[in-house]
C-alpha cells in the first residue's frame, strides 16, 4: 500500500510538471517537462534523502561524540530502533535553535533521522525519546519515501513554475502568449503540488504519533514534547525551511509557523488536536491526566520550558 501511494503521488506530480510545461511552452514545453519529470522521479527515488540532509547541513553523529547530550540522543535512537525491531538508522544533528526533527530515507534499511540542536537543548530525555519514536514510526510505516520524494518533486515543480515569469504563455494557443494563463500556472502549480503534500501529511502525523507512543511507551512525554516544540517553533525561525517550504512536511511540527489548524493550507494537524489524541490514548492505557492540571500545550505556551 505504501509503494502504491508513492507511485500515485509521483504520477500526480509528474502530471503537474506536464501542465506547467504546457502553460510555458505549449506541446513542446509539455514534452520537455514530462521528460524532466521522469528523470527527476528516478533521481529523487534514490537520492531525495541525501538532498534533504545536505539542504539542512545535517551532520552524522555516533556514541563517540564529545557532547554528552548528543551521545544520549544517539543512545536513545538506537535503543528505540532495537525496541521497534528496525535497523538502526543513520543518526544526524542539525545546527538550528528551532526545536524540530524529521526522518528520511527510501526504506528502513536506508533511513536517517535528524534532530536540531535546539530540540536537544529544550527537551528532557523522555521527551526526546517520544519525538524520535515518532520519527521511527514514519520509518516503520515507510512514510519516509513518500515524504522525502514528494518534498523534492514539489520543490522542482515550484522552480519550473517560476520559470513562467520569464516566458510567454501557450505557444500553440491561437491567441498567442497568454499572460493570464502563464500567471495562473505560476501560482496554481506550486499550490497544487503543496495540496498533494497536505492531503497526505495530516493523517500520517496522527498515525506516527500513535505508533511512536507505542514504541517509546511515553505517550504523555510525546504530548509534552509536541507542546514545547510547537511553542519553540512559533518563536524561533528556521531559515532553511523558510527558503524551502516544501520540506516543512518532513518535520514533526510545522517549521514555518509552529501553529495551525486542520485546514486546507496546513501541512500538519493542529498541535492541540495531536496532544488531545495522545492524552486520550494515555487515559485508555490507565494513566489519566491529573485533575485540574494545565494541558501540555497550555503549559508550554506560557513558558518557560522545562
pLDDT in tens, 57-79: 999 999 999 999 999 999 999 99
Per the structure, the complete domain to which residue 291 belongs is given by 2-302
pLDDT over 90, % of the chain: 44
Question: Looking at the predicted structure, is the pLDDT value of residue 240 above 80?
Answer: yes
The string of DSSP codes covering 206-251 is HHHHHHHHHHHS-HHHHHHHHHHHHHHHHHS--HHHHH-GGGGGGS
Nearest Cα neighbor of 105 from 55, 143, 73, 153 is 143
| pLDDT computed for residue 203 by the predictor | 80
Query: Who contacts 170 (Cβ-Cβ below 8 Å, separation ≥6)?
Result: 22, 23, 25, 26, 177, 178, 181
Burial class for 82, CB neighbours closer than 10 Å (0-12, 13-18, 19+): exposed
Q: Are 35 and 43 in contact (CB under 8 A)?
A: no
pLDDT in tens, 188-212: 666 666 666 665 667 889 999 999 9
Q: Report the alpha-carbon distance of residue 223 to residue 251 in Å, rounded.
A: 16
Q: Report the alpha-carbon distance of residue 159 to residue 148 in Å, rounded.
A: 17
Question: Looking at the predicted structure, is the pLDDT value of residue 283 above 80?
Answer: yes
SS3 60: strand
Question: Looking at the predicted structure, is the pLDDT value of residue 297 above 80?
Answer: no
Q: Report the alpha-carbon distance of residue 7 to residue 175 in Å, rounded.
A: 36
Question: Looking at the predicted structure, is the pLDDT value of residue 104 above 60?
Answer: yes
Q: Is residue 89 very low, low, confident or very high in pLDDT (cuts 50, 70, 90)?
A: very high
Question: Looking at the predicted structure, is the pLDDT value of residue 175 above 60?
Answer: no
Number of domains in the chain: 1
* Residue of higher predicted confidence among 163 and 263: 163
- Lowest mean pLDDT: which of 18-22, 87-91, 122-126, 180-184? 180-184
* Residue of higher predicted confidence among 61 and 5: 61
Q: Is residue 28 very low, low, confident or very high in pLDDT (cuts 50, 70, 90)?
A: confident
| pLDDT computed for residue 47 by the predictor | 81
CA 234, 238, 239, 242: dihedral to nearest 10 degrees?
A: -60
Q: Which amino acids are annotated catalytic?
A: 135
H helices, E strands: number in the chain = 10, 4
The string of DSSP codes covering 27-44 is HHHHHHHHHHHHHHHHHH
Amino acid at each position: 500500500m505504501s509503494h502504491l501511494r508513492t507511485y500515485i503521488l509521483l504520477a500526480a506530480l509528474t502530471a503537474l510538471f506536464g501542465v506547467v510545461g504546457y502553460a510555458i511552452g505549449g506541446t513542446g514545453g509539455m514534452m520537455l517537462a514530462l521528460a524532466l519529470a521522469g528523470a527527476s522521479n528516478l533521481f529523487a527515488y534514490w537520492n531525495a534523502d541525501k538532498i534533504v540532509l545536505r539542504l539542512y547541513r545535517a551532520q552524522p553523529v555516533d556514541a563517540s561524540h564529545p557532547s554528552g547530550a548528543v551521545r544520549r540522543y544517539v543512545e536513545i535512537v538506537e535503543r528505540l530502533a532495537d525496541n521497534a525491531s528496525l535497523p538502526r538508522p543513520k543518526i544526524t544533528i542539525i545546527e538550528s535553535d528551532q526545536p524540530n526533527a524529521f526522518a528520511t530515507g527510501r526504506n528502513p534499511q536506508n533511513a536517517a533521522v535528524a534532530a536540531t540542536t535546539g530540540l536537544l537543548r529544550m527537551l528532557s530525555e523522555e521527551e526526546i525519546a517520544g519525538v524520535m519514536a515518532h520519527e521511527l514510526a514514519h520509518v516503520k510505516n515507510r512514510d519516509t519515501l513518500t515524504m522525502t520524494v514528494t518534498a523534492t518533486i514539489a520543490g522542482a515543480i515550484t522552480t519550473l513554475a517560476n520559470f513562467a515569469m520569464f516566458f510567454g504563455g501557450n505557444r500553440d494557443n491561437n491567441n498567442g502568449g497568454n499572460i493570464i494563463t502563464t500567471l495562473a500556472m505560476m501560482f496554481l502549480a506550486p499550490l497544487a503540488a503543496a495540496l498533494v503534500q497536505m492531503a497526505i501529511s495530516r493523517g500520517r502525523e496522527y498515525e506516527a504519533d500513535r505508533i511512536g507512543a507505542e514504541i517509546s511507551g511515553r505517550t504523555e512525554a510525546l504530548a509534552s514534547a509536541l507542546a514545547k516544540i510547537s511553542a519553540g517553533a512559533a518563536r524561533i525561525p528556521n531559515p532553511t525551511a523558510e527558503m524551502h517550504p516544501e520540506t516543512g512536511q518532513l518535520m514533526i511540527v510545522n517549521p514555518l509557523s509552529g501553529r495551525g489548524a486542520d485546514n486546507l493550507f496546513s501541512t500538519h494537524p493542529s498541535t492541540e488536536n495531536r496532544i488531545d489524541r495522545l492524552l486520550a490514548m494515555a487515559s485508555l492505557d490507565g494513566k489519566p491526566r491529573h485533575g485540574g492540571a494545565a494541558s501540555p500545550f497550555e503549559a508550554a505556551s506560557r513558558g518557560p520550558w522545562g
